[in-house]
């Protein structure tokens, strides 16, 4: 059986940092309030002239460098994002040209915070059936562009960034399995209510585009759902919780991360946490956390990683990886 394997990781964060102390100056909130409820103390924010494509470009370069591949070695690019540069062409297509890749398939995937895992699942299947040899998979967001800075419940949560991996075909197991799901029943709990065909509200700032979230309800569904997908993923691979070396979760809220870590009976030092410094970077959060733990030496070759995420839609997904 042919597998796909991660051979390189990369990430990029915008230079501008917005701390909780900075937010206190123009939002009715406090550092203590934010930390106690989310675990976040700062987040990165794109510059006015910076786009999601810019972030993805830098992360992709670093992933390809780590994988020791050239643009001509890539024959598929999939980008998970909720905040593309423009409606069309896709940001992946713009990135394909910018990176100097051959005329290969390039697409965006919108699954909110689960976007990277959806993209990874697609690329993994593409390689397994033999339609691609090597793929560039990215999660990138300029999610603060959707933030209503007057809404203290949501504006403190989000940050911008990008993470990327290069995967290639392998005769040895790398990506052991991926699992993706969605349930539109809960769409009203997290999302936006404007768009191209639904229409924009021209009289409002940003045409009325802003993130709307019912935090307590989202928290409850997220914890239950991520618990179930942990069981599903381990069962699909005939593994026990003790077989997992690292949990690399979506970085939305420290309490949700802790609940998932307890489900796996993993000590805190085996759960990769970046939410305190990055905030919720949506589709970028899992690959950002993965790259950080690879580059600082925590994650070693041969270890088993559980990647998981939950996002608006609702969408959720996981990947079990032997790194």
Instruction: Encode pLDDT of 289-323 as tens digits.
Output: 999 999 999 999 999 999 999 999 999 999 999 99
Active site residue 280: yes
Could you tell me the end-to-end alpha-carbon distance of the chain, in angstroms, rounded to an integer? 18
- The token duo for 25 is 């100056």
CB 259 within 8 A of CB 230: no
pLDDT of residue 97: 97
Residues 65, 9: Cα–Cα separation, whole Å: 9
Q: Exactly one of 20, 44, 110, 113 is catalytic; which is it?
A: 113
Mean pLDDT of 219-225: 90
Asked if 113 is an active-site residue, the reply is: yes
With 60 as the cut, is the pLDDT of residue 270 above it?
yes
Confidence grade of residue 198 (pLDDT, cut at 50, 70, 90) = confident
Q: How confident is the model at residue 215 (pLDDT cuts 50, 70, 90)?
A: confident
Q: What is the reported pLDDT for 28?
A: 92
Kindly report, residue by residue over 107-135, the tens digit of the pLDDT.
Answer: 999 999 999 999 999 999 999 999 999 99
CB of 119 within 8 A of CB of 163? no
- More confident: 104 or 213: 104
How much is the pLDDT for 209?
Answer: 82
Q: What is the mean pLDDT of residues 235-258?
A: 96
pLDDT classification of 271: cutoffs 50, 70, 90:
very high
**pLDDT for 20-77, tens place per residue?**
999 999 999 999 999 999 999 999 999 999 999 999 999 999 999 999 999 999 999 9
DSSP assignment of 250-310 equals --S-HHHHHHHHHHTT--GGGB---HHHH-B-GGGHHHHHHHHHHHTT-S-TT-EEEEEEE
Predicted pLDDT of residue 1: 55
Which has more pLDDT, 19 or 211? 19
Q: What are the Cα distances from residue 263, in Å, to 124, 159, 230, 250, 315?
A: 26, 27, 8, 15, 20
- Run of H or E including 94: helix 91-99
In the set 44, 110, 250, 253, the catalytic residue is: 250
Q: Using 50, 70 and 90 to split pLDDT, how confident is the model at 204?
A: confident
Looking at residue 206, what is its pLDDT? 82
At 210 the pLDDT is 87
pLDDT at position 61: 98
Proportion of the chain above pLDDT 70, given as a percent: 100
**3-class DSSP state of 5:** strand
- pLDDT tens for residues 163-184? 999 999 999 999 999 999 999 9
Q: Which residues pair with 182 in a beta bridge?
A: 315
In degrees and rounded to multiples of 5, residue 49 shows phi and psi of -100, 15
Token duo for residue 245: 């070396």
* Structure-token pair, residue 158: 């989000």
312 touches 191 (CB < 8 A): yes
206 belongs to the catalytic site: no
Yes or no: say if 144 and 129 are a contact pair by the CB < 8 Å rule: no
pLDDT of residue 219: 87
Exposed/middle/buried for 245, CB within 10 Å: 0-12, 13-18, 19+? middle
């Amino acid at each position: 059986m042919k597998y796909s394997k991660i051979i390189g990781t990369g990430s990029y964060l915008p230079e501008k940092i917005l701390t909780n102390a900075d937010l206190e100056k123009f939002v009715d909130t406090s550092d203590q309030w934010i930390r106690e409820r989310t675990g976040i103390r700062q987040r990165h924010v794109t510059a006015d002239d910076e786009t999601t494509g810019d972030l993805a470009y830098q992360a992709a370069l670093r992933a390809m460098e780590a994988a020791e591949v050239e643009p001509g070695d890539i024959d598929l690019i999939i980008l998970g994002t909720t905040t593309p540069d423009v409606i069309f062409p896709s940001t992946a297509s713009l990135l394909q040209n910018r990176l100097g890749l051959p005329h290969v398939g390039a697409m965006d995937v919108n699954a909110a915070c689960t976007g990277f895992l959806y993209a990874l699942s697609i690329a993994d299947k593409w390689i397994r059936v033999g339609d691609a040899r090597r793929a560039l998979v990215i999660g990138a967001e300029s999610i603060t562009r959707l933030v209503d800075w007057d809404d203290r419940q949501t504006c403190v949560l989000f940050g911008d960034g990008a993470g990327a991996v290069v995967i290639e075909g392998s005769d040895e197991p790398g990506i052991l399995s991926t699992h993706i799901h969605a349930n539109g029943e809960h769409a009203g709990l997290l999302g936006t209510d404007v768009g191209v065909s639904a229409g924009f509200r021209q009289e409002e700032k940003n045409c009325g585009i802003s993130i709307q979230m019912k935090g307590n309800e989202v928290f409850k569904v997220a914890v239950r759902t991520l618990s179930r997908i942990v069981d599903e993923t381990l069962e699909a691979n005939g593994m026990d919780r003790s077989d997992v070396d690292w949990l690399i979760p979506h970085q939305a809220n420290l309490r949700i991360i802790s609940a998932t870590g307890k489900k796996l009976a993993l000590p805190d030092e085996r759960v990769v946490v970046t939410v305190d410094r990055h905030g919720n970077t949506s589709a970028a959060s899992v690959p950002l956390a993965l790259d950080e733990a690879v580059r600082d030496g925590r994650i070693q070759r041969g270890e088993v990683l559980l990647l998981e995420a939950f996002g608006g839609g609702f969408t959720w997904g996981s990947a079990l990886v032997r790194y």
